[in-house]
Amino acid sequence: MELPPLPTQPEGVPWPTQGWPRAMDAAIPSRASALLAEAFDRKDLGETQAVLIVQRGRIIFERYGEGGAAEDTFHSWSMAKSITHALTGLLVADGVLDVRAPVDAPEWRAPGDPRAAITLDHLLRMQSGLAFTEEYRPDQPSDVIAMLFGEGKHDVAHFAASFPLAHPPGAHMAYASGSTNIIARRLGAAIGKSGAAFEAFMRARLFAPLGMASPIPKFDAAGTFIGSSFCFATAQDFARFGLLYLRGGVWEGRQHLPREWIDHARTPTNRQPGAADGPYGAHWWLETGGPGSFSANGYDGQYIVLAPDLDLILVRHGRTPLDLKEPLKAWIAALVDAFR
């Protein structure tokens, strides 16, 4: 399929490696202004802690909740999955990994194990087929809660990889945080790094070149980056990460991530009828901000929404319970659309 074009950095606008350029006097459409005025007051949006908007490479709106500041770090939750996609892309570009090759997980090496056919691309597109239950309601059985906070927390990748298949690999899409942690372990194995050494790789290859000084990634006791859920950062740094993807992988005039890898993120994954939560790419959601947009979405209402047609990034942080998820998504969609 033909993907919408991605905007380039406007001539004369500096990259935000050292600090974000600003255009705080930029004209914001009246409908967008009205929606922004509601952001911190509407009860059906939950608690909004930060809203930041970048357009044409400059911050045009930035506000934090009571007592908050630009220096505050916010929980990524599943926005970390999109960071894991970027880390994977770096190693694919290095020739260390083949995204379409079997993952070679230790749990799947027995002769005849059908899970041995699972590839990195299957995991990135949530098509592993593993019988992993992604559920956040306390009254429901939940493999993700057990992985992050229960019996699986000391070795999240092993816990996730130990599930049997419910579907053939590649045949069924089911969002699963366990898939991301299997990827994160594979990344570490590919370069022989875990724990602090893998964190140093993250900083040297991804965060530092973008000027992202605030990220705090978390690791389990086995040394695996918990890439499904845990990377704290400031709203401005999450916006820097978003700008890398909005610019097609280019930073400071250099192709930092391959353009093909950015397109991989926003190419739709085939879904079975009735699949929940909207269209999905590869560790990025699609159309949260309207047609052609793609986004990193996290539990509790964390968002980095990229709208290529507007050259716009919307970062939102907060605490929004699941029963208010749909009003928040509708507000985000309306806010982005108001700039059209």
CATH code matching the domain that covers 76-223, chosen among 2.60.200.20, 3.40.50.920, 3.30.160.100, 3.40.710.10: 3.40.710.10
- Summarised one tens digit per residue, pLDDT across range 123-174 is 999 999 999 999 988 778 899 999 999 999 999 999 999 999 999 999 999 9
Burial group, residue 258, by CB count within 10 angstroms (0-12, 13-18, 19+)? middle
CA dihedral (95, 100, 104, 105) in degrees, to 10, reads 110
CATH 3.40.710.10 domain position(s) in the chain? 1-74+234-340, 76-223
* H-only helix segments in 77-216: 79-93, 120-124, 143-149, 156-161, 177-191, 195-202, 208-210
What is the C-alpha R_g of the chain? Answer: 19
How far apart CA 203 and CA 142 sit, in angstroms, is 32
Q: Per CATH, which fold does 1-74+234-340 belong to?
A: Beta-lactamase (3.40.710)
How far apart CA 208 and CA 213 sit, in angstroms, is 7
How far apart CA 318 and CA 66 sit, in angstroms, is 12
Return the pLDDT at 340. 96
Return the pLDDT at 274. 74
Return the pLDDT at 278. 84
User: Whole-number mean pLDDT of the chain?
Assistant: 97
- Summarised one tens digit per residue, pLDDT across range 83-92 is 999 999 999 9
pTM of structure: 0.98
- Nearest in space to 315 (alpha carbons), one of 217, 218, 246, 265: 246
pLDDT band at residue 276 under the 50/70/90 scheme: low
Return the pLDDT at 137. 83
Return the pLDDT at 275. 72
How far apart CA 174 and CA 131 sit, in angstroms, is 9
For residues 269-275, average pLDDT: 85
How far apart CA 42 and CA 62 sit, in angstroms, is 18
- Summarised one tens digit per residue, pLDDT across range 178-227 is 999 999 999 999 999 999 999 999 999 999 999 999 999 999 999 999 99
* H-only helix segments in the chain: 30-38, 79-93, 120-124, 143-149, 156-161, 177-191, 195-202, 208-210, 235-246, 259-266, 325-338
- Nearest in space to 183 (alpha carbons), one of 254, 102, 260: 102
In what helix (H) or strand (E) does residue 54 lie, and over which residues does it extend? strand 47-55
Q: Write out the two tokens for 315.
A: 């970062």
Mention every residue, 6+ apart, whose C-beta is less than 8 A from residue 76. 83, 229, 230, 231, 232, 233, 238, 298, 302
- Summarised one tens digit per residue, pLDDT across range 29-47 is 999 999 999 999 999 999 9
Coarse DSSP helix, strand, coil percentages of the chain, rounded to the nearest 5 percent: 35, 15, 50
- Summarised one tens digit per residue, pLDDT across range 49-73 is 999 999 999 999 999 999 999 999 9
First to last CA, the chain: 24
pLDDT band at residue 272 under the 50/70/90 scheme: confident
Query: Helix (H) and strand (E) counts for the chain?
Result: 11, 10
For residue 280, which phi and psi values (nearest 5 degrees)? -135, 145
3-state secondary structure of 323: helix
How far apart CA 90 and CA 256 sit, in angstroms, is 8
